Amino acid sequence: MARRLAALAATLLATSFIIYGAVYLAPGSPLTAVTGGRPLPPATLHAISHEYGFDKPFIVRYWDWLTGAIHGDFGRSVVFRQDVSSLITPRIGTTVFLIAYAALLILLIGVALGLVSALRKGHLDTAILTVTSVGTAVPAIVAAIVLIWIFTLQLGWLPALGSGSGLAGQLRHLTMPAIALALAGTAYVARLTRAAANEELRREHVATARSRGIPERYVVQRHVLRNALVPITTAAGLTIAGLIAGTVVVENAFALNGLGSFLVQAVGQKDVPVVQAICLILVTAFIVVNTVVDLLYAVIDPRIGFGGGDDR
Q: Which residues bind another protein (CB under 8 A)?
A: 26-29, 31-48, 51, 79-82, 86-87, 90-91, 94, 145, 148, 152-153, 156, 159-163, 252-258, 261-262, 264-265, 267-270
> d(Cα 121, Cα 99) in Å, to the nearest integer?
32
> d(Cα 21, Cα 59) in Å, to the nearest integer?
9
Contact between 23 and 278 (Cβ < 8 Å): no
Smallest distance, another protein to C-beta of residue 73, A: 15
Helices (H), the chain: 2-25, 30-34, 42-52, 58-70, 84-105, 111-119, 123-137, 140-147, 166-201, 204-211, 216-218, 226-253, 259-269, 272-300
Smallest distance, another protein to C-beta of residue 79, A: 5
CA atoms within 13 A on the CB side of 53: 16
Nearer Cβ to another protein, position 139 or 215?
139
Nearer Cβ to another protein, position 92 or 112?
92
> d(Cα 15, Cα 278) in Å, to the nearest integer?
12
Smallest distance, another protein to C-beta of residue 273, A: 14
Q: What is the DSSP letter of 307?
A: T
Select from 301, 292, 310, 311 the least CA-distant residue to 99. Answer: 292
> d(Cα 256, Cα 248) in Å, to the nearest integer?
10
Q: What is the DSSP letter of 107?
A: I
Nearer Cβ to another protein, position 38 or 217?
38
Nearer Cβ to another protein, position 38 or 312?
38
Nearer Cβ to another protein, position 117 or 175?
175
Smallest distance, another protein to C-beta of residue 113, A: 30
Kindly list the distances between the CA atom of residue 135 and the CA atoms of 138, 162, 178, 180, 236, in Å, as whole numbers in the listed order. Answer: 5, 25, 14, 10, 16
Nearer Cβ to another protein, position 79 or 219?
79
Q: Three-state DSSP class for 217?
A: helix
Nearer Cβ to another protein, position 55 or 216?
55
Smallest distance, another protein to C-beta of residue 111, A: 32
Nearer Cβ to another protein, position 184 or 278?
278
Smallest distance, another protein to C-beta of residue 214, A: 54
Smallest distance, another protein to C-beta of residue 215, A: 51
Smallest distance, another protein to C-beta of residue 252, A: 5
Based on the number of CB atoms within 10 Å of its own CB, is 258 exposed (0-12), middle (13-18) or buried (19 or more)? buried
Contact between 199 and 122 (Cβ < 8 Å): no
